[in-house]
Amino acid sequence: MIDLKSLSLQEMTDLLKSIGQPAFRGKQVFTWLHKGARSFDEMSNLPKVLRDRLAAECILHVPQVARKQESKLDGTIKYLWELADGNCIESVLMRYHHGNTVCISSQVGCRMGCTFCASTIAGKVRDLTPAEMLDQVLFTQLDSGLEISNIVLMGIGEPMDNLDNVLKFLELVNHPDGMNIGMRHISLSTCGVIPGIKRLSELGLQLTLSVSLHAPDDETRTRIMPVNRAYHVDDLFAACHEYFRKTGRRISFEYSMIDGVNDNDWQADLMAKRLKGMPGHINLIPLNDVVESPFKPSKRISAFQKRLESHGLTATVRRTLGSDIDASCGQLRRKAMEEKGETCR
Ligand code: SAH
């Protein structure tokens, strides 16, 4: 079976031509799929024989809303989607002044093992397809009735661990005949997988790269993020500097503030040293308390921010959204796993 929605417009056109259809059919099918068609029968401008053939030979899945929670505080909506194979993933719609932003997952689970993160506790189940990433944006928009203008790849999973599919997804969601979301409205967040950063530097996409740094020294970073054993801080910063040189794009560094672990002044000073020569932006994130994690939120966020600023760095504190609906970092999927066990993996 062909996963039609994961194909680029060119691939779709070639496929339809190969079964004797005129080239314009590719664009017709692409447009239907990217508008959220739920069946081939809906595609009313296609001949019935073609619709039947596509239905027999291609997959057309749409994710089901397994759970939906809306924050009373700020309108954040959290979706738990059930995929065709019964796996569940999360997306979160956040309503910022600059536009509605959806945070999407790139994998079912995660194998990176960051010690403070709920998404990785049960490991990785599988990668998401380009279509499954696109569907999160598309069906969040359709279900909520709110137009999505921004995407952050900051949900469950490590995008660099599924980079081929992520790049294909970016091509799809960016396409003028599809959702047409500009690269400058898309952020991709990585825990620091250097080969992925290098590959992105070569491509020179206009998206925003976020690096989940969380500590500027190897000792602390290895303690909280096992990925640091493979990719050390020195090498990570070298890759970031190279990324900036090649793309001219400012990197955003994520820094979740953990009490007594990464919130010391000397670590702010070290950040400044490491960032020399690159206009980075530091996003300080209040740690979300994950029951399974030994770490506690820092009480020094504004002191740490001031220390960074004293070095001329720009640092902002991320606003906490959806705190009444478990809207952070794999917590809804985890809850559903505990409660539903078998049915929602
Ligand atoms: N794997 C990617 C994207 C997913 S995580 C990455 O690591 O960047 C999205 C962001 O949330 C990362 O910066 C991650 O480190 C952070 N995060 C995870 N758990 C958190 C928690 N309990 N509190 C605050 N931030 C957390």
**Atom 14 (ligand 1) nearest CA:** 212
Is pLDDT at 33 greater than 80 in this prediction? yes
Tell me, what amino acid is at 192?
A: G
User: Which residues are marked as active site?
Assistant: 90, 329
As a whole number of angstroms, the distance between CA 256 and CA 297 comes to: 8
Digit-coded pLDDT (tens) for 176-195 = 999 999 999 999 999 999 99
Q: Which percentage of the chain shows pLDDT scores above 90?
A: 88
Our answer on whether the CB atom of 315 is closer than 6 Å to any ligand 1 atom is: no
Average pLDDT over residues 214-225: 98
Q: Which two tokens stand for residue 294?
A: 């030994």
Cα(117) to ligand 1 centroid in Å equals 6
pLDDT category at 344 given cuts 50, 70, 90 is very low
How far CA 123 is from CA of 107, 113, 167, 194, 293, in Å, comes to: 10, 8, 23, 21, 15
**329 pLDDT more than 60:** no
Q: How confident is the model at residue 293 (pLDDT cuts 50, 70, 90)?
A: confident
* Cβ of 254 less than 6 Å from ligand 1: yes
> Is residue 290 within 6 Å of ligand 1 at its C-beta?
yes
Same fold, 2-59 and 64-338: no
- Mutational test site, ligand 1, from 212, 213, 258, 293, max ligand atoms within 8 Å of CB: 212
- How far apart (Å, rounded) are the C-alpha atoms in residues 310 and 298? 20
Instruction: Output the pTM of the full model.
Output: 0.95
Coil/strand/helix, residue 54: helix
Nearest CA to ligand 1 atom 1: 158
Kindly write down the DSSP assignment for every residue of 301-337, as one continuous string. HHHHHHHHHHTT-EEEEPPP--TTTT-STTHHHHHHH
Question: Which one, of 181, 186, 214, lies nearest residue 285 by Cα?
Answer: 214
What does pLDDT average to over the chain? Answer: 94
Pairing verdict, β 88-96 and 77-82: antiparallel
- pLDDT for res 289: 85
**Helix pair angle (130-144, 163-174), 10° resolution:** 40
- The yes or no reply on domain 2-59 and CATH 3.30.70.260 is no
Domain ranges for the chain: 2-59, 64-338
CATH topology of domain 64-338: TIM Barrel (3.20.20)
Q: Which atom of ligand 1 is nearest to the CA of 153?
A: 3
Average pLDDT of span 92-102: 95
Residue 191 CA: nearest ligand 1 atom is 7
